[in-house]
Amino acid sequence: MRALAWHGKHDVRVDTVDDPEIVNPRDCIIKVTATAICGSDLHLYDGYIPTMRAGDILGHEFMGEVVEVGAKSTLKKGQKVVVPFTIACGSCYHCGKHQYSACDNGLPADNQDIAQELYGQPMSGLFGYSHMTGGYAGGQAEYVRVPFSDVGPIVIPDGVEDEKVLFLSDILPTGWMAAENAEIEPGDTVAVWGCGPVGLFAVQSAFLMGAERVIAIDHFPHRLELAKKFGAETINYKESAVYEALMVMTGGIGPDAVIDSVGLEAHGFFVDNVLDQIKASTFLGTDRAHSIRQAIIACRKGGRVSMPAVYGGFIDKFPLGALMEKGLTLKTGQTHVQHYMPALLNAIMEGKIDTTFLISHRMDLEDAPKGYDMFKNNQNEVTKVVLKPGFN
Amino acid sequence: MHDTKSHSDDAPPSTWKRGDALTESGIPDDKGSSIVARAVTINRPVAEVFAYFRDFANLPTFMENVERIDILSDTRSHWVVKAPAGKTVEWDAVVTEQTQDSVIAWRSEPGADVANSGRVEFRDAGARGTVVTATIAYDPPAGIVGKLIAKMFQREPAIQARRDLRRFKQLMETGEIATAAMNRKQHEEELA
C-alpha cells in the first residue's frame, strides 16, 4: 500500500510499504477514506518529538471502511468507522473510569519503558506518533491495522459525509474536553490561546457550555476571523498587548478560565521562546511554552487553567508561584476520545456542532508532503488539510 | 508483609538503599546476589490471576525470554530461557512455597546455569483487582560483565521482569498482548 512516512526533519514521503494484517484477535483493518494532518503532526515534522524512526507512518486523524475483522472484533466488514487517536483497551482500571488516554494496556510492553522513565507511568498508545507512544503505524495511509477495534472505533450511520465526522478522531473531542476542563459556569469569560482547530472547537464548545464571552488570541487574521464567526471577541497579539487587553476587557478581573491550545511550538518573538527554541534544537530539551505562561498570569484569582496543548518534556520559568498564590486549578491531558465520541456524533447529527468550516484544503494522499509544507508555512490560510487516498 | 525490623520505614526490602534486603524479602534461600521486585495491579479476580500463573506451562505466553517450561511434576519444572548472543540457559526449578491465591515461591536446583529464586505474591485489591508482586534474586552470568552484556541485549532481569508483568497484565485484562506490528511477519520477527 501507499503511506506517508517520516524520514527526518521536514522530510516526509509517500512510500510503498507492506499492507497491514490482522495480528491480534481484537484487531480490524480499515481502508482509509479520509485522514487529516493535525497541528501536532507538525511537531513531528519539525523534529520536536523524540523516538521517531525513519519510515514511521504518520497520521492519527482518520476514518474508513472496515475491510477485515479479527475473531474478537465486534465490527462488520463494510461498516464506516471513525477511529480514536488514542489506543485504549477498554478493560483496565483507567478505561473503566473513562480515562482512555491513561489506558494501561494500549502500549506494547517494551515501548512503555521510555514513558515510565520520563513521566513515572506509561500512557495509552497513539497512532502514528513516535515509538514512545507505541510505534503504531498511522492513518495517513491506504490501510490501517486498528487494535482493540471492539471498543475504539465508532460506527457512522450510512449516508453521512466523511468530512462531517472525521474530526471525531481527535480535534473535536480535544476542543470539547478543553472546554470541559475549564469548568465553565454560566456568565463566565473564557480566554483561548491559539485559534487552530482545537482552539476553534474549544471556542464553540465553551459557548455551548454556557460561557457568556469567549476571547480568542492568535496572530493569524484568518483564524481570528473564524473565531469571530462563532461569536468570540479577538486579540491579535502582534497588534495588541495580550495581558493588558484581557485585563481591560474583563474589567480588571482577568478571564475566569483560560485555555492553552498552542503548546510546545508557540510562535512569537518572546525572550523565553527564543531561549526555549535554542535549548530544544540543541537537545537541552525544553519545550517552548510562552502561551501557558501568559495564560496563567492572565487568569483571574481562583480561576481554571485548561491545557489541551501538547507538551512533551520540561519547561523553564513555569509560573508555579502564580498558580499557587492565585489558587488556580490546572487540568490537562491527552483526550479521552472514546468517552466523548458518541455524544459528539449526536451533536453533529443534530447540527449543534459544525466541523466542516475548518477544512481549507483537500488533497490526494500522494500529495501529502505538499500538504505538510503548506500547513507548516501558510497557517493563516491553511486551517486544515484533509487527505483522501484516490482523490485525484 | 515481611519482617522489616532492621529498617525503620514500610518500603519493600527490594527498594532499600541499605540493610539486608535479600534475607528479609521472603524469597527462598538466598540464591543470587541481585534482587529485583516489581508490582502490577491486574483488573481481574485473584483466583483467576493466580490460577493462570500457577500453571507454569502458561508462563512463556507472556515471559518473552522463556522459550519453554516442561512440567516435571506438581512442584518441579524445567526452564529453557533465552540468553544473549542466541544462547539459552536452563535450570530445574522447584516450588518451595505455595498458598492458594496468595503466594508461589521457587528456587533453582543445583546445577542451574543461572542460579535464581523468586517469590510472587497475589493480593486481592477489591475493586482494583489483584496486586501481583514479583521478587526475584539471581546470580548474573559471569558477574558484572555478564550483567552489562545482558543489559545491552535487554535481557537484564530488572527490565525483563517489568515487561513480563506488563504483558501478564495485558493478557489477563484484554485477552491479548499489545503489539505495534503491522502484519504477522513483523509480529513473528518481534517475538523471535
Question: Domain limits of chain A?
Answer: 2-170+335-388, 172-332
Instruction: Select the more confidently predicted residue: A148 or A381.
Output: A148
User: Which residue in chain B is spatially nearest to A131 when comparing CA positions?
Assistant: B180
Contact of A108 with chain B, judged by CB distance below 8 Å, is answered with yes
> What's the predicted TM-score (pTM) here?
0.89
Domain extent for B146:
21-191
Hey, is A342 helix, strand or coil?
Answer: helix
Hey, is A145 helix, strand or coil?
Answer: strand
Hey, is A362 helix, strand or coil?
Answer: strand
Other C-beta atoms closer than 10 Å to the C-beta of A350 total 8
Query: Cβ of A24 and B162 within 8 Å?
Result: no
Contact of A104 with chain B, judged by CB distance below 8 Å, is answered with yes
Measured between beta carbons, the chain B residues lying within 8 angstroms of A110 are 154, 163
Residues 12-51, chain A, touching B (beta carbon < 8 A)? 17-21, 23-26
pLDDT of the residue at A281: 44
pLDDT digits (tens, 9 = 90+) for A53-75: 999 999 999 999 999 999 999 99
Share of chain B above pLDDT 90, in %: 53
| Residue B130 Cα, gap to closest chain A Cα (Å) | 11
Measured between beta carbons, the chain A residues lying within 8 angstroms of B159 are 113
Query: Cβ of A26 and B176 within 8 Å?
Result: yes
pLDDT of the residue at B23: 67
Measured between beta carbons, the chain B residues lying within 8 angstroms of A25 are 175-176
Q: Which of A207, A109, A128 is nearest to A169 (CA)?
A: A128
- Spatial separation of the C-alpha atoms in residues A101 and A32, rounded to whole Å: 23
- Spatial separation of the C-alpha atoms in residues A169 and A154, rounded to whole Å: 9
Give all strands of the β-sheet with B116-124 in edge-to-edge order. B34-42, B130-138, B116-124, B103-108, B88-99, B76-82, B66-71
Query: Cβ of A137 and B163 within 8 Å?
Result: no
Measured between beta carbons, the chain A residues lying within 8 angstroms of B154 are 110
| Residue B174 in domain | yes
Please tell me if the domain spanning A2-170+335-388 has the same topology as the one spanning A172-332: no
Report the top-level CATH class of A172-332. alpha beta
Contact of A109 with chain B, judged by CB distance below 8 Å, is answered with yes
Looking from the CA of A369 toward its CB, the CA atoms found within 13 Å total 14
Low-confidence ranges of chain B (pLDDT < 70): 1-6, 19-34, 140-156
Query: Cβ of B177 and A136 within 8 Å?
Result: no
- Spatial separation of the C-alpha atoms in residues B100 and B77, rounded to whole Å: 19
Residues β-bridged to residue A146: A28
DSSP states along chain B: ----TTSSS-S-GGG-SSS-HHHHTT-STT--SEEEEEEEEESS-HHHHHHHHHSGGGGGGT-TTEEEEEE-SSSEEEEEEE-STT-EEEEEEEEEEEETTTEEEEEEPTT-SS-EEEEEEEEE-GGG-EEEEEEEEE--TTHHHHHHHHHHTT--HHHHHHHHHHHHHHHHHHSS-----SSHHHHHHHH-
pLDDT of the residue at A77: 98
Share of chain A above pLDDT 90, in %: 82
Query: Cβ of A23 and B173 within 8 Å?
Result: no
| Residue B1 in domain | no
Residues of B with CB under 8 A from a CB of A: 41, 43, 64, 128-129, 154, 159, 162-164, 166-167, 169-170, 173-187
pLDDT of the residue at A273: 44
Contact predicate A259/A193, CB 8 Å: yes
Q: Which of A35, A47, A45 is nearest to A280 (CA)?
A: A47
| Residue B166 Cα, gap to closest chain A Cα (Å) | 6
**pLDDT above 70: residue A133:** yes
pLDDT of the residue at A59: 98
pLDDT digits (tens, 9 = 90+) for A348-379: 999 999 899 999 999 999 999 999 999 999 98
pLDDT of the residue at B33: 59
| Residue A347: alpha-carbon gap to chain centroid | 19
Other C-beta atoms closer than 10 Å to the C-beta of B140 total 20
| Residue A330: alpha-carbon gap to chain centroid | 18
Contact predicate A137/A145, CB 8 Å: yes
pLDDT digits (tens, 9 = 90+) for A22-59: 999 999 999 999 999 998 899 899 887 888 999 999 99
Query: Cβ of A89 and B183 within 8 Å?
Result: no
Stretch A85-94: mean pLDDT, rounded? 97
DSSP one-letter code for A122: -
Q: What is the mean pLDDT of chain A?
A: 92
User: Which residue in chain B is spatially nearest to A25 when comparing CA positions?
Assistant: B176
Query: Cβ of A108 and B179 within 8 Å?
Result: yes
Burial (Cβ within 10 Å: 0-12, 13-18, ≥19) of residue A32: buried
Superfamily covering domain A2-170+335-388: Medium-chain alcohol dehydrogenases, catalytic domain (3.90.180.10)
| Residue A204: alpha-carbon gap to chain centroid | 16
| Residue B10 in domain | no
Residues 62-81, chain A, touching B (beta carbon < 8 A)? 72
Amino acid code (one letter) for B164: D
Q: Among partner residues B64, B129, B169, which is closest to A105 by beta-carbon distance?
A: B169
- The C-alpha cell 494532518 sits at A37
Q: Can you give the CATH number for the domain in which B30 is found? A: 3.30.530.20
* Residue A152 pLDDT class (50, 70, 90 cuts): very high
* Residue A323 pLDDT class (50, 70, 90 cuts): very high
Instruction: Select the more confidently predicted residue: B154 or A85.
Output: A85
DSSP states along A53-104: -TTEEP--EEEEEEEEE-TT----TT-EEEE-SEE--SSSHHHHTT-GGG-S
The gap between the terminal CA atoms of chain B, to the nearest Å, is: 39
Interface test with B, best of A26, A87, A92 (most B CBs within 10 A): A92
pLDDT digits (tens, 9 = 90+) for A206-254: 999 999 999 999 999 999 999 999 999 999 999 999 999 999 999 999 9
Q: What is the mean pLDDT of chain B?
A: 84
Joined together, the cell numbers standing for residue B147 give 550483567
pLDDT digits (tens, 9 = 90+) for A270-301: 444 444 554 554 444 444 568 899 999 999 99
Hey, is A114 helix, strand or coil?
Answer: helix
Q: Among partner residues A23, A25, A96, which is closest to B181 by beta-carbon distance?
A: A23
pLDDT of the residue at A268: 41
Domain count within chain B: 1
